[in-house]
Amino acid sequence: MELVSHFETLFREPIVQFFLWMAVLYLLSNVFIDKRISFWVSSIGTTWFWLKNRDPMVALQVWGLILGFFLVFLSLKYFFHMNLFLFLKGKKRCPFCWEEAHRKAKVCPHCRHSFEDA
């Protein structure tokens, strides 16, 4: 019962609602429009909806969060040469064919490049 009320207060948070809208739009555009533009469709669509019908401050806060995430992502990438998305997937990128391989792989499954040499 406590868990349910916890989720209720969470769903009343406007920022959480914003991200839920974004996620639903993302899935819909991913399936029905095009995978490559679904991030833009969902983010611009949700922002437009929020600016028009709801609190513009929430949209600003959400974009602050997204920009903050991208700053962390880019600084990890440029200062530590670490791709956060690949890391979370447990993968690394082959320097030879640029395909994704398992983080612990010793040989690239796509081009047989040996990671041991590097």
Q: Which of 72, 107, 110, 114 binds Zn ion (CB under 5 A)?
A: 110
Q: Which of 96, 100, 105, 115 binds Zn ion (CB under 5 A)?
A: 96
Nearer to Zn ion, 77 or 113 (CB): 113
Q: Which of 69, 97, 103, 114 binds Zn ion (CB under 5 A)?
A: 97
# residues contacting Zn ion (CB under 5 A) = 7
Q: Which of 24, 75, 111, 114 binds Zn ion (CB under 5 A)?
A: 111
Nearer to Zn ion, 39 or 96 (CB): 96
SS3 per-residue string spanning the chain = CHHHHHHHHHHHCHHHHHHHHHHHHHHHHHHHCCCCCHHHHHHHHHHHHHHHHCCHHHHHHHHHHHHHHHHHHHHHHHHHCCCHHHHHHCEEECCCCCCEEECCCCECCCCCCECCCC
* Beta carbons of 86 and 71 less than 8 angstroms apart: no
Nearer to Zn ion, 22 or 94 (CB): 94
Q: Which parts of this chain interact with Zn ion (CB under 5 A)?
A: 94, 96-97, 108, 110-111, 113
